[in-house]
Amino acid sequence: PPEPRRAGGAAMAAAAGEGSGAGDGDGDVPAATRLQAYAWCREFLAGSWKLIGPEEFGIGLVSGGLSNLLFKCALPEHILSVGDEPRQVLLRVYGAILQPGPGSCSVSLAGLPGGLWGCHCPCPQGVDSLVLESVMFAILAERALGPRLYGVFPQGRLEQYIPSRRLRTEDLRDPDISKEIAVKMSRFHGMVMPFNKEPKWLFGTMEWYLEQISELTFPEEAQLKKFNHLKTYNLQEEMKSLRALLEATPSPVVFCHNDVQEGNILLLAGHEDSSDKLMLIDFEYSSYNYRGFDIGNHFCEWVYNYTHDSWPFFKASPENYPSRQQQLHFIRHYLSEDSERRGDTTHEEQARIEEEMLTEINRFALASHFFWGLWSILQAKISTIKFGYL
Residue 357 lies in a domain: yes
11 pLDDT above the threshold of 50: no
Residue 377 is part of a domain; what is its CATH number? 3.90.1200.10
Q: What is the mean pLDDT of residues 362-370?
A: 98
Residue 113 lies in a domain: no
Q: Helices marked H in 153-220 — which ranges?
A: 175-189, 201-213
Q: What is the mean pLDDT of residues 273-288?
A: 94
One domain, residues 317 and 216: yes
- d(Cα 292, Cα 289) in Å, to the nearest integer? 9
- Model confidence at 28, in pLDDT bands (50, 70, 90)? confident
One domain, residues 171 and 58: no
Q: Note the Cα 348 to chain centre separation in Å.
A: 36
Residue 102 lies in a domain: no
pLDDT at 12: 29
One domain, residues 195 and 266: yes
- d(Cα 328, Cα 94) in Å, to the nearest integer? 39
Q: Is 42 helix (H, G, I), strand (E, B) or coil?
A: helix
One domain, residues 145 and 217: no
Residue 7 lies in a domain: no
Higher pLDDT, 382 or 95: 382
Q: Note the Cα 117 to chain centre separation in Å.
A: 17
One domain, residues 55 and 92: yes
- Which DSSP symbol is given to 366? H
Region of poorest pLDDT, from 62-66, 305-309, 370-374:
62-66
Higher pLDDT, 115 or 371: 371
One domain, residues 157 and 182: no
CB 121 within 8 A of CB 205: yes
- Model confidence at 126, in pLDDT bands (50, 70, 90)? low
Residue 146 is part of a domain; what is its CATH number? 3.30.200.20
- Model confidence at 114, in pLDDT bands (50, 70, 90)? very low
- d(Cα 38, Cα 85) in Å, to the nearest integer? 15
CB 82 within 8 A of CB 35: no
15 pLDDT above the threshold of 50: no
One domain, residues 172 and 314: yes
Q: Under 8 Å CB-to-CB from 177, ≥6 apart: which residues?
A: 167, 171, 278
Chain segment 244-279, per-residue pLDDT in tens = 999 999 999 999 999 999 999 999 999 999 999 999
One domain, residues 168 and 149: no
One domain, residues 364 and 235: yes
- d(Cα 300, Cα 319) in Å, to the nearest integer? 11
Checking phi first, is residue 103 left (phi over 0); if not, alpha (psi -120 to 50) or beta? left
Main-chain dihedrals φ then ψ at residue 70, nearest 5 degrees: -120, 130
- d(Cα 61, Cα 316) in Å, to the nearest integer? 30
Provide the mean pLDDT of the chain: 86
Q: Angle, nearest 10°, between helix axes 324-342 and 291-301?
A: 150
CB-CB neighbours of 377 under 10 Å: 22
One domain, residues 153 and 173: no
Residue 101 lies in a domain: no
pLDDT at 18: 41
Residue 112 lies in a domain: no
Q: Is 247 helix (H, G, I), strand (E, B) or coil?
A: helix
pLDDT at 351: 97
Q: What is the mean pLDDT of residues 351-370?
A: 98
Cα dihedral sign for 309, 313, 317, 321? positive
Residue 351 lies in a domain: yes
pLDDT at 133: 86
pLDDT at 343: 75
One domain, residues 233 and 277: yes
Q: What is the mean pLDDT of residues 348-359?
A: 97
Q: Supply the range of the domain harboring residue 29.
A: 25-96+139-161
CB-CB neighbours of 248 under 10 Å: 8
One domain, residues 170 and 255: yes
- How many domains, in total, are found in the chain? 2
Give 253-296 as a DSSP string. Answer: EEEE-S---GGGEEEETT-TTSSS-EEE---TT-EEEEHHHHHH
Residue 130 lies in a domain: no
99 pLDDT above the threshold of 60: no
